[in-house]
Amino acid sequence: MTQRLRFLLLLALALGCASTEAGKAPPPAPGSPGAATASAPDAGTHGVDLAGMDRSVPPGDDFFLHANGTWLKETEIPSDLSRWGTFNILAEQSMQRVRAVLEAAADGSAPAGSEERKVGDFYASYLDEAAVEARGLEPLRPHLATISALRDRTALARALGVDLRTDVDSLNCTHYHTSRLFGLWVAPDLNQPSVYAGYLFQGGLGMPDREYYLSTNPKMVATRDGYRAHVARVLTLAGIGDAERKAARIVDLETRIARVHASRAESLEVRHAAPWMRTEFGKRAPGLDWGAFFAAAGLQQPTVVVWQPAAVKGLAALVKQVPLSTWKEWMTFHAVDRMSPVLPRAFVDENFAFYGKVLAGTPELPARWKRAVEAVAELRSKQVGFREGAGMGNAAGKLYVARHFPPSAKGQIEEMVRQISTAFDQRIQALDWMAPETKAQARAKVKSLRVSVGYPDRWVDYSALEISRGDLLGNMERAAHFDYRRRVALLGKPVDRGDWCMEPQTVNAVNLPLHNALNFPAAILEPPTFDPRATAAVNYGGVGTVIGHEVSHSFDDQGAMFDAEGRLRNWWTPADFAKFEQSGARLVAQFDTYRPFPDLHVNGKLTLSENIADVAGIAAAHDGWRASLGGTEPPEVGGLTGEQQFFLAYAQNWRAKVREPLARQYLLTDGHAPAHYRAFSVRNADAWYSAFGVKPGQALYLAPEERVRVW
């Protein structure tokens, strides 16, 4: 089996959500005792969206269009977004709810120094555009002066160390992108998962991936030209002379950085990750004064795991090879560019013009309150443009949960998790290709899986974070420093398996293989993915396949490398390993055939983990649903059988429209296949064929022996 692990060792699925009314005991989970309702489920309101289907498209030819074709034709993407679909609708609902709790916190009535007051003041400082305009670039001047004063490469190394952050520019925690030269992530140690280790990642690029700098595709060439112009405009806005020449040097430097970067596929290879003694960095990656770098970064641990050793070596060499003056120009640009969303409107508009319009295709800048919610509550939608930084997401999440997710709501999803985990365990037992010793290890892993629903058991303590109501940029910087120091303080300490990667208000779900844990934030546990008034078929096809997906991530091509304790260990027999790898190769080939654009196809290798989790998740959720019925036949609703409801609910999870620039970006950088093709995962499920009468000769038909089952 190829040894691959997603960035940050966090395997995630960007998904969706909607609403539980606070103060009322939620209905029982579908399929559980007492789940029957007084009235029959209402298709289209509490079930499959019949009106959104296009029955003129045979399900065996294009199941995504069959389930979503009319919706796709009639739906327009909002002008301030780059994509729209099931999970974006739920994200908008979450954003509106968070807005309400932040506005309540911002009224000034909470005690001074309290967490509620801090998060309210933070939000108010973002909304106070007049104050931001009045201060101009002044809040950034000290940082720019520090860069300007750098006189040698030791000082440069110190500045790069001071600049190190644990920010993740990602909605789903699945990759690390930073415009700083390096990024740091704190996670359980690969070989000793009971303690936290530091992972050093490649960085230094303003655009999303090395391909944006190196590809000869005409669209990429045009984007590079646009980026160079953007760099020059930012420098000009900041009052920096000779902007065109400096922009050319900055982009040239980033192109050199891109050449030493590991590719996205190479960065999934866990075998490349290497623990380096801190004292050995100077010998292993000469060119950077690592002693000065680590001291300035506050990293004194004896060992740091280097995720892309060849890239780190190349970046360190560039520190020595490239003139100091060029490095200072590069640092100056990124210092301004990173903070442009919280600078005066001219900077905001320029930032959005490139990162929002060019890279994501979004026509209109979102309202300021939306940007404020995203920043303060850490709702990383990537709709606004490139941003790094930390807010007070956990504090906003605590307020959100208090209003919208009572503790009793956990039980509904926990019951579904139990059903689906049991189904997955039974599927392992029934495998005819797996040896008993491998089965025992796999089943132990299922049994020890820790599931967290709604929100973390322990909240972040923000008492040490200083927030000033009139200082937006300062608040952003202090929050980022606070987050960095909080995470670095964990290094070498015992791992908290209850630690969360995302906030309760995030429409998402995640599998953490090093924790052997799953997180299901409150915001995803809502209609239409989960609706207590819908049939069990619809709920298991909706949120059930999400749950099955995350459980299955523990056994995808990456998660299967970790044992029940989260340790990176091969617990497979060689023969079982080979068979599992063969199934993965067949799935890679299947997804490589999908071509959203004439010049771009889905990368089956890049998306393999998510595709395995989709295929296995559908199977486990389907089994869990059937078991939940207790032998009874599911009701027909809206002319659809229970089996049809299940698979249509799955396909309608993935309804989405994406603007072309963002769709192209996803194909290069995202570990998930496009939504259209995720719906095609059903072609590997035998039950789908009988449910819709799919026959040989139809586009999606696979002969039984060609269907990839994996688990």
Over the stretch 101-158, which tens digit does the pLDDT of each residue have? 999 999 999 999 999 999 999 999 999 999 999 999 999 999 999 999 999 999 999 9
End-to-end CA separation in angstroms for the chain: 15
Residues 223 and 241 in one domain: yes
Residues 632 and 663 in one domain: yes
Contacts of 190 (CB under 8 A, 6+ apart): 9, 197, 270, 273, 305, 514, 567, 568
Does the pLDDT at position 336 exceed 80?
Answer: yes
Of 9-13, 480-484, 671-675, where does mean pLDDT reach its minimum? 9-13
Put simply, whether the predicted model's pTM sits higher than 0.75 gets the answer: yes
Rounded Cα gap, residues 612 and 581, in angstroms: 11
Contacts of 46 (CB under 8 A, 6+ apart): 527, 531, 533, 534, 538
pLDDT bin (cut points 50, 70, 90) of residue 11 is very low
The pLDDT value given to residue 34:
32
Maximum pairwise Cα distance, the chain? 77
Long-range CB contact pairs, 125-131, < 8 A, 24+: 125/467, 125/468, 125/469, 125/470, 125/471, 125/472, 125/475, 126/342, 126/368, 126/371, 126/372, 126/375, 126/376, 126/472, 127/368, 127/369, 127/372, 128/469, 128/470, 128/472, 129/345, 129/368, 131/470, 131/472
pLDDT bin (cut points 50, 70, 90) of residue 537 is very high
CB neighbourhood size of 220 (10 A): 17
Mean pLDDT of 372-382: 81
205-218 pLDDT, tens per residue? 999 999 999 999 99
pLDDT bin (cut points 50, 70, 90) of residue 409 is low
The pLDDT value given to residue 347:
98
Residues 380 and 415 in one domain: no
Residues 386 and 424 in one domain: no
Q: What angle do CA 243, 366, 526 make, to 5 degrees?
A: 140
Domains identified in the chain, total number:
2
* Domain assignment of residue 259, yes or no: yes
Residues 440 and 377 in one domain: no
The pLDDT value given to residue 343:
97
Backbone angles phi, psi at 574, to 5 degrees: -55, -40
**Residue range of the domain that includes 139:** 126-395
Residues 344 and 416 in one domain: no
Minimal CA–CA distance to 101: which of 115, 83, 113, 80?
Answer: 115
* Domain assignment of residue 416, yes or no: yes
Tokens of 213: 């700098």
Residues 595 and 671 in one domain: yes
Minimal CA–CA distance to 313: which of 285, 346, 291, 338?
Answer: 285
Rounded Cα gap, residues 292 and 156, in angstroms: 9
644-664 pLDDT, tens per residue? 999 999 999 999 999 999 999
Q: Among all chains, which residue has been given the structure tokens 């060849």?
A: 310
In terms of pLDDT, which residue wins out, 57 or 380?
Answer: 57
Residues 302 and 159 in one domain: yes
Mean pLDDT of 394-400: 95
What pairs with residue 197 in β-bridges? 187
The pLDDT value given to residue 116:
97
